Amino acid sequence: MLNAIAIGEARVTNFSSGEDCTSTVGILRALGVDIERSPGLNGLGASLVVRGVGMNGLTEAGDILDTGNSGTTTRLMSGILAGRDFQSILNGDESIRSRPMGRVIDPLRQMGARISARDDGRLAPIVFHGGELHGIDFSQPVASAQVKSCLLFAGMRAEGTTTVRSPAPSRDHSERMLRAMGAPVIEDGSDVSITACDLSSVDVDIPGDISSAAFWLVAGIAHPDAEITVRNVGLNPTRTGFLTVLEQMGADIQIVNEHDSAGEPVGDLIARSSKLRGVHIGGDLIPSLIDEVPVIAVAAALADGETVITEAEELRVKESDRIEATVAWLRAAGGEVEERPDGMIISGVKSLHGITADSFGDHRIAMALAIAGLVAEGDVNIENASAADISYPTYWRDLESIAGVVG
């Protein structure tokens, strides 16, 4: 996304073929960016050549820009499209049209962007009508990397300084990439500021997403006889709360072959069968593991004692209500779980049993159910299993290879 508005040509390797990433490429092409795509080799992701058009080089699209199921694409592109001298319309699937977008629309309007949206500016479709942007000092009520990135992206074209203050640390992939591309990013604890700038293109080799690796790691520690290695995983400190929780639960997790790639720490992760114990998960840890909660629940269901998850109400406005969905399938599978407004309390049991459960079109629920199927007594049948394609299109193929080892 950032190379599209940079100056120069960049090569991006190991690019995911997931639907979310495909939606992003389609939008950038519609806005006039030349992107060549070639298939990856030896099981790696695709390769892209992105010819940047510069900060002000995007052109008006001839149609509605479809973000599919991607909340990240919708919110980050909002920052890039705000204040342009042409009109744009962002829309997505039914899930996107129900997810809260006021959290980016409101501060973008404060910056001077003229934006209209459904439900009094809360829901997609979102229409951008131009406007002159100026910097603001914005305090987030809840730490959100998507909101932060959206405002930083808009800030690169705004007059003055844009500062985003957060109550807790959140993912900093955007800040790292912006710095690598020459942007004047200033960080002060959980606060980050930027001023108007141009970007220089940079080649990127994308490491594996820890949110995807999480499923295999839980499969390794929750199964009674397994060892699973996941290679080339991004280990950004703002994303490793999941590993911290697994270690607190007593999981046998080892990190090897650590190195840096495009300013991001990377390594291989080895997960071995472990005797797990319940823990408390909340506070500053939540932003760093919010996407992994559905699969953490699988581990917690088989741990000794009680696992309490709090301050995770953000899960209710993801692709599904992930608190409600996780509680429902865990109960159906024989787990002991209590739903709370901001999370859940899971009491470990000796085993889970087979069920038929709906993913509700949510990729992370579908994949968590599959890991439950690896360790349950009986079959787990997943309705709407194809939801996994949104972020991990080879998931079922990879699961089949894993199941031959641990199933």
Residue the block writes with tokens 């930027």: 194
Catalytic residue among 291, 358, 362, 389: 291
By CB atoms closer than 10 A (0-12, 13-18, 19+), residue 319 is buried
How buried is residue 56: exposed, middle or buried, by Cβ count under 10 Å (0-12/13-18/19+)? exposed
- Rounded Cα–Cα distance for residues 399 and 403 (Å): 6
SS3 letters for 331-361?
Answer: HHCCCEEEEECCEEEEECCCCCEEEEEECCC
DSSP result, 44-61 = --EEEEEE---TT-----
Sign, Cα dihedral of 395, 388, 212, 393: positive
Q: Is 63 a catalytic residue?
A: no
Residues facing 46 on adjacent strands: 15
Buried b (16+ CB within 10 A) or exposed e, 166-198: bebbbbbebbbbbebbebebeeeebebbbbbbe
Of the candidates 257, 304, 261, 298, the one whose C-alpha atom is nearest the C-alpha of residue 279 is 304
Please name which of 72, 77, 97 lies closest in space to residue 88, comparing C-alpha atoms.
Answer: 77
Which residues fall within 8 angstroms of residue 119, CB to CB, at 6 or more apart? none
Give the residue numbers marked as catalytic.
Answer: 291
